[in-house]
Amino acid sequence: MGERKYWRTPLDIEKARKQKGRVIIHEEWCKGCEFCSFFCPLDVLKMSERFNSKGYHPVEVVDEESCVGCKLCECICPEFAIIVECDVKEGR
């Protein structure tokens, strides 16, 4: 699990319902800009060593278990190359 970047832990975190996310990446659309991997708060994404057919290093999911489905990566991708599916679990 990636290190959390929050400056404090919310006081009611034990009562919070944790959302689980699943990240789907269209590798061929990725231009390797690194926005998503840089801004993901839980370090779920990392740039791959591989190349796609356009010659870019696409992003890949390295820690899907930590994804909370915040959709920041989906919103921030300029190429619309990411889709995040969410489902909410009871408790933590």
Q: Where do contacts with ligand SF4 occur on this chain (CB under 6 A)?
A: 21, 23, 30-36, 40, 42, 44-45, 59, 67-73, 76-77, 79, 81-82, 84
What are the phi and psi torsion angles at 39 (to 5°)? Answer: -95, -10
* Smallest separation, CB 28 to ligand SF4 (Å): 10
CB closer to ligand SF4, 34 vs 51: 34
Distance CA 67, CA 20 (A): 6
* Smallest separation, CB 7 to ligand SF4 (Å): 17
CB closer to ligand SF4, 13 vs 34: 34
Distance CA 59, CA 80 (A): 13
* Smallest separation, CB 72 to ligand SF4 (Å): 4
CB closer to ligand SF4, 72 vs 88: 72
Sign of CA dihedral 28, 65, 3, 73: positive
Distance CA 77, CA 33 (A): 9
